[in-house]
Amino acid sequence: QHYCQDVYRGRLASVHSAARNQELQKLAQTYHIAISPWIGAVTSRRAGQWESSWEDSSPWNYANWAPTHPFHIVTTCTSLSIQDGLWRSRFCFQLRPFICQY
């Protein structure tokens, strides 16, 4: 998130529809990357409840989680699978490509 903001003056992508999810999946495929890129969803515990939110503070009105995701153990970030378009919880310290929006 910080790199996206500092270098590109953007935010990690938020996804609010199946069409947008597919668009970002196809975009990532064009770069022939092997690792699923970060998107801007974070799952964390707030007031005793696990919830997901977007880094850009936009409304949480769509989700495309893979089965068993998101994790509810620690705060996690989210990757978008290039293969199936599903989202998976990942530890936030992992180095991955990312999709930045402006």
pLDDT of residue 63: 98
Residues 6 or more apart from 42 whose CB is under 8 A from it?
Answer: 52, 53, 54, 55, 75, 76, 77, 78, 92
Cis peptide before 67 (omega within 30 of 0): no
pLDDT tens column, 57-72: 999 999 999 999 999 9
pLDDT at residue 32 tops 90:
no
The stretch 19-29 carries a mean pLDDT of 96
* Tokens 């996690």 -> residue: 76
Domain range 2-101, CATH class: alpha beta
Domain ranges within the chain, ordered by starting residue: 2-101
Question: Tokens 């989202």 belong to which residue?
Answer: 87
Tell me the pTM: 0.93
